[in-house]
């Protein structure tokens, strides 16, 4: 069993207004050194496979076909072994 | 009598399906029926409408889950065979997610859900959707969306312009859409998507009627 921990964010070139709004709030709390805030999604998949590379391929396909929209989003993920 | 046979696709969470049905059926007198996403049969239809709403609760991304519902496979095949498909609001988002139209709809730039009547410009009236309007005509149509900020790559944007695929633009951009885009058609000119709601501006008794010529034009384009 593997767990894929997937992060999906708006592509770097796209303005993230939600991130900007949160950034302004952080600045008003005094965190002047925070220079960029991007908000995204976290998706966790449990994948019942014995081979890590197969689990990776499945996670990647899931991202490409459904979880992320390549027109507007980037994704990255880690796959880690799970005992469950 | 119109030869239009209109199918209004209903997903869990669609909420403008009855408005679209009312205009096609009661205002325009077209043969119209609802197509429930699980069992709807589009075989005998020649116009398919993807209505507005919040299909599947807008989970993951607007339109992302609907794209994989059973009926959408039929709609994609129907469109690829030249069938007329229009997507309004959530329907536009579904068409983009399913690849029948290019681009994607992002969160509105000001993060607000916008519900108001806006002024649109008809950019192209040489389409089966817009031929009843004058080119550059201004029309008033309501919008009601939180994710209507049309986005696409530079390359796609040039193609949309070069191929005259942009049908409607906002006179005052409410949501951040590139090139003020409010509605587009596909390159084959049989699939159209727009964020504003023409079906909400099609009966004088409830307000404006600038949307009626669009839906009437589509219904009458079937001969």
Count of other CB atoms within 10 angstroms of residue B52: 26
Give the residue extent of every domain in chain A. Answer: 2-81
The proportion of chain B whose per-residue pLDDT surpasses 90, expressed as a percent, equals: 95
Number of H helices, E strands in chain A: 2, 3
| Domain assignment of residue B31, given as a range | 5-220
* Annotated active-site residue in B89, B96, B97, B145: B89
Task: Give the pLDDT of residue B1.
Answer: 55
CA distance B132 to B1: 18
Q: What is the pLDDT along chain A (84 residues), one digit of tens a residue?
A: 999 999 999 999 999 999 999 999 999 999 999 999 999 999 999 999 999 999 999 999 999 999 999 999 999 999 999 976
* Domain count across chain B: 1
Task: Say which CATH architecture domain A2-81 belongs to.
Answer: 2-Layer Sandwich (3.30)
Give the mean pLDDT of B41-58. 95
Best residue of B58, B59, B60 to probe chain A, by most A CBs closer than 10 Å: B60
Q: Are strands B138-145 and B114-122 parallel, antiparallel or unpaired?
A: antiparallel
Q: pTM for this one?
A: 0.94
Token pair, residue B72, equals 């959408």
Cβ(B77)–Cβ(B48) below 8 Å: no
User: Cβ contacts (< 8 Å) between B104 and chain A: which residues?
Assistant: 69, 71-72
Find the CATH number of the domain harbouring B195.
Answer: 3.40.50.880
Cβ(B7)–Cβ(B33) below 8 Å: yes
């Amino acid at each position: 069993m593997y767990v894929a921990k997937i992060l999906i964010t708006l592509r770097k070139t796209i303005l993230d207004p939600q991130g900007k709004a949160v950034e302004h709030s952080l600045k008003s709390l005094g965190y002047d050194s925070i220079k960029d805030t991007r908000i995204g999604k976290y998706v966790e998949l449990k994948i019942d496979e014995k081979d890590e590379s197969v689990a990776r391929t499945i996670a990647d396909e899931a991202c490409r076909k459904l979880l992320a929209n390549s027109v507007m989003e980037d994704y990255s993920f880690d796959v880690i072994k799970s005992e469950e | 009598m119109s030869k239009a046979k209109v199918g209004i696709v209903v997903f869990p969470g669609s909420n403008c399906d009855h408005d679209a049905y009312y205009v096609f059926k009661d205002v325009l007198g077209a043969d119209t029926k609802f197509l429930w996403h699980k069992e709807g049969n589009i075989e005998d239809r020649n116009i398919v409408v993807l209505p507005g709403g919040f299909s599947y609760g807008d989970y993951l991304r607007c339109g992302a889950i609907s794209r994989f519902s059973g009926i959408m496979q039929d709609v994609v095949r129907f469109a690829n065979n030249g069938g007329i498909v229009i997507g309004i609001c959530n329907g536009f988002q579904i068409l983009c997610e399913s690849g029948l139209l290019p681009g994607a709809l992002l969160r509105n730039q000001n993060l607000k859900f916008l519900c108001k009547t806006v002024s649109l410009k008809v950019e192209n009236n040489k389409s089966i959707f817009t031929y009843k309007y004058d080119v550059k005509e201004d029309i008033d149509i309501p919008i009601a969306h939180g994710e209507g900020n049309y986005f696409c790559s530079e390359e796609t944007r040039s193609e949309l312009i070069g191929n005259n695929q942009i049908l409607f633009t906002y006179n005052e951009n409410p949501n951040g859409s590139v090139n003020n885009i409010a509605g587009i058609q596909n390159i084959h000119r049989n699939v159209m998507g727009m964020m504003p709601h023409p079906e909400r501006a099609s009966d004088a008794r409830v307000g404006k009627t600038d949307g009626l010529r669009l839906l009437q034009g589509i219904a009458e384009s079937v001969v």
